[in-house]
Chain A
Amino acid sequence: MSGFLLGLSLGAACLASCAPILVPWYLAQAAGWGRNFVLLGLFSAGRLVGYGVFGILAWIIHPVIDSLRHSFVFGLIYLALGIMLIHFGRTQFHNPCVSKGLMRRIPAEIFARPGILAVIMGVLVGLNLCPPFLAAFTKAAETPSLAASVIFFVCFWAGTTVYLLPLPMVGLFRQPVAAIVGRFACWIMAGYFIYQGVLIWVGGLK
């Protein structure tokens, strides 16, 4: 229960963290709000996986988590998110063409199917150390067992997900123009995430 309440109390910040990713993405999908809810479900499932992983980590390695904030791993996560958004925008302009360049090794289905992409983005977002997440991590690290830690994170996830529920309504504005704007916005956001990732890599200028 305390995890859920913590999620509810800090979830607005999750909305602030996730909206810049989800809104451009929804616009670019040009899907209706119903389909957006399905995608949000998959995205949230991805987040749940990310949170679950952290539930385990919180119990095992909580003493070193603060030093991880500026580590190679989190820089890499930002970069991965950025590259995914760039590629998403590109495949939306031209039909999926993942047989080219660096993306050759990634199965085409991942980018052709928004559902899979939603899950992956959810996992990556779930693996980010945003302020509410750190608060949850600190609390979870104090729990007596692994199961309690994971349950805490699941409840925290449920609390924060409440705030993401209005976002699929972006689908009410679906238009071809909005989709183009969304794709460009994905690229700009990708630039931002790559910048964050590089900054973390080169020495925590953040």
Chain B
Amino acid sequence: MKNIRMIMAYSWAVLAVPLILATFLGMPTWARFLVDTTGLKVAPKFSGGEVIRTIEYQGYSTRIHEPSFDGLFGPCKQGFVQIDWKANAGSFPETISEMIDYDQNGTVDFSVVIQTQTDQVTLKALDSPVIAPEPLISIPDMKILRIRLRNP
């Protein structure tokens, strides 16, 4: 028994080097395997959540993310919905004006107007769960807006 234990211990110790090498050489494969098997994703709080709808306009497209009310054990009282505007040809029209139905229930939830030169946002809540917009995030070719929501 003692000998078996010793052989196993030495074998395990010797295997350490091939294990390290295999890890580094196959890193992209192992990383993908880990992510696929566990189903882990970046929390919506950071990623904005899954894109559930894309609307194409002339010159830009609007992407509506899934509303997020993430809490540890279940949905929270407050959350947000993220809307991205992506310029197709590198620049936006001067004004983006849009009516958003983020929960796709056929009723417009809020209207938003963005002055793309100044990044000024005007949001008008048309449904009670809408609380307020967060500051607009502007990156080349993209405008990102999160709107805080009450969980209905």
Contact = CB atoms under 8 A, between A and B. Distances in A.
Q: Do chains A and B touch in the complex (CB under 8 A)?
A: yes
Interface of A: 12-13, 15-16, 131-132, 134-135
Contact of A135 (B71, B72, B73, B77): B77
User: Which of B73, B74, B76, B78 has the most chain A CB within a 10 Å cutoff?
Assistant: B73
Interface in B62-78: 71-74, 76-78
Contacts of A16: 71-73
Nearest to B77: A131
Nearest to B72: A16
Interface residues of B, number: 7
Interface of chain A, helix or strand or loop or mixed?
A: helix
Contact of B74 (A12, A134, A135): A12
A131 B78 CA distance: 9
Contacts of A12: 71-74
Nearest to B71: A13
Contacts of B71: 12-13, 16
Contacts of A132: 77
The B contact surface, by secondary structure, is loop
A13 B76 CA distance: 9
A61 B139 CA distance: 46
Contacts of B78: 131
Given A12-B72, A13-B73, A131-B76, 14 more contacts: A12-B71, A12-B73, A12-B74, A13-B71, A13-B76, A15-B73, A16-B71, A16-B72, A16-B73, A131-B77, A131-B78, A132-B77, A134-B77, A135-B77
Contacts, number: 17
A-B pairs with lowest CB-CB distance, top 7 = A12-B73, A131-B77, A16-B72, A12-B74, A135-B77, A13-B71, A131-B76
Contacts of B76: 13, 131
Nearest to A134: B77
A134 B151 CA distance: 14
A131 B76 CA distance: 8
Nearest to A12: B73
Nearest to B74: A12
Nearest to A131: B77
Nearest to A9: B74
Contacts of B72: 12, 16
Contacts of B73: 12-13, 15-16
A132 B77 CA distance: 8
A18 B31 CA distance: 36
Interface string B67-111: 000011110111000000000000000000000000000000000
A135 B78 CA distance: 11
A18 to B, nearest CB: 13
A13 B74 CA distance: 9
17 contacts: A12-B71, A12-B72, A12-B73, A12-B74, A13-B71, A13-B73, A13-B76, A15-B73, A16-B71, A16-B72, A16-B73, A131-B76, A131-B77, A131-B78, A132-B77, A134-B77, A135-B77
B68 to A, nearest CB: 16
